[in-house]
Amino acid sequence: MKDDNSEVRLNSISNLMKIADILGLDLINPAQLTTIGNLLKDAQWRVRMAAVEFIGQFSVKFGKEAY
């Protein structure tokens, strides 16, 4: 998520929901969610948009359990 190439960050965040579905909530730790939150401040608008979409999908899927 800290790669210099914005395409790598975009692809990572875009595919993260698939990983979250496979791993489940138990293996997603708060530090990873903090990293996703940091992508909301990324210089590339596409990365920011993907982070917002991920947070929305994640919230719908896992709800209050995630917090």
What DSSP letter does each residue of 1-61 carry, written as one string? Answer: ---S-HHHHHHHHHHHHHHHHHH-GGG--HHHHHHHHHGGG-SSHHHHHHHHHHHHHHHHH
Say what the pLDDT of residue 62 is.
Answer: 73
Say what the pLDDT of residue 24 is.
Answer: 73
Say what the pLDDT of residue 41 is.
Answer: 92
Say what the pLDDT of residue 64 is.
Answer: 64
Say what the pLDDT of residue 66 is.
Answer: 54
Say what the pLDDT of residue 60 is.
Answer: 83
Question: Could you report the per-residue pLDDT of 7-59, keeping only the tens digit for each?
Answer: 998 888 888 878 877 877 667 767 777 888 888 999 999 999 999 998 888 88
With H, G, I as helix, E, B as strand and everything else as coil, classify residue 63.
helix
